[in-house]
Amino acid sequence: MEKICGLIDAPFTPFDKNGEVNLEPLGIYAAMLAKNGLKGVFINGSSGEGYMLTDEERMQLAEKWMEVAPAGFKVIVHVGSCCLKSSRKLAEHAASIGAWGIGSMAPPFPKIGRIEELVKYCETIAGGAPELPFYYYHIPAFNGAYLPMIELLKAVDGRIPNFAGIKYTFESLYEYNQCRLYGGGKYDMLHGQDETILPCLAMGGAQGGIGGTTNYNGVNLVGILEAWKAGDLEKARELQNFSQEVINVICHYRGNIVAGKRIMKLIGLDLGPNRVPFQNMTDEEEARMKQELEAIHFFERCNKF
């Protein structure tokens, strides 16, 4: 299977003031991401509040992203759900509209605690779109599925033909690298933590990744890969350190899903509020966050339209 080179964005889902999905901004959104060096989108995931969308909303979003995606821009659809029948249906739909690939995290309920449970879950979903690459989205902080990913690769090897790899959003760089080395590099290990791109490059393995802060800081995160490729370690370090400064700011305001979505408004694309039970930022919090971002000269370096 083709391995992804470069960074894929995990976009936010636009809502109107009444909390309904708003498809209108997606054309501008897609063009902006491509302009700033992103290679595609991984839609309806955690950044996109996917578990808070209906199946119909998720399919509408997938169809619209396919419509507006620039040439060569990969659309990967997150199809994970607490209802396996819904996941299978969403996988089939993604295949029917020509999506590049699909992916799924483990469900937050019921909690998966054994490798075989996870394999059966992935196997059922992947079987709904056997011609598409399937990525497991490893984000145990979200769902409590703290399982060894090297064991997952061993279990799916030869069992799920379209298992492409893992979106790895966890802190163990050791495990990430062991998974990258498995089977002579058989599986695509997509880096999932924007704060540690450079260490994974240094281990010699990271070629692609999926990020959330790429929505507004993508030009700098893409720059890390470019600087590393050019052999400019000092530039790569500066860009990684700056990207961590941006993450430090959003951590003051409930993280990427809440604060990051509000940053999109500040840089010129209002994607609306978050859905309940997320606690939306107040105008006062927005003003304070803007000041913190100005202090690190973020608006001089962020994604541009």
Residue numbers annotated as active site: 137, 167
What is residue 114's DSSP assignment? S
Helix (H/G/I), strand (E/B), else coil: 210: strand
Q: How far apart are CA 88 and CA 121, in angstroms?
A: 10
Q: Identify the CA nearest to 294 among candidates 246, 222, 239.
A: 246
Q: Tokens 């607490």, residue?
A: 82
Instruction: Count CA atoms closer than 13 A to 259's CA, side-chain side.
Output: 21
Q: How far apart are CA 84 and CA 220, in angstroms?
A: 37
Cβ-based neighbours of 278, under 8 Å, separated by 6 or more = 49, 254, 257, 258
**Contact (Cβ atoms closer than 8 angstroms) between residue 34 and residue 73:** yes
Residue 154 buriedness (CB in 10 A; 0-12 / 13-18 / 19+):
middle
Q: Identify the CA nearest to 207 among candidates 42, 7, 5, 40.
A: 5
Q: How far apart are CA 73 and CA 75, in angstroms?
A: 7
Q: How far apart are CA 83 and CA 118, in angstroms?
A: 14
Which tokens sit at 19?
């909390």
- 191, β-bridge pairs: 168, 209
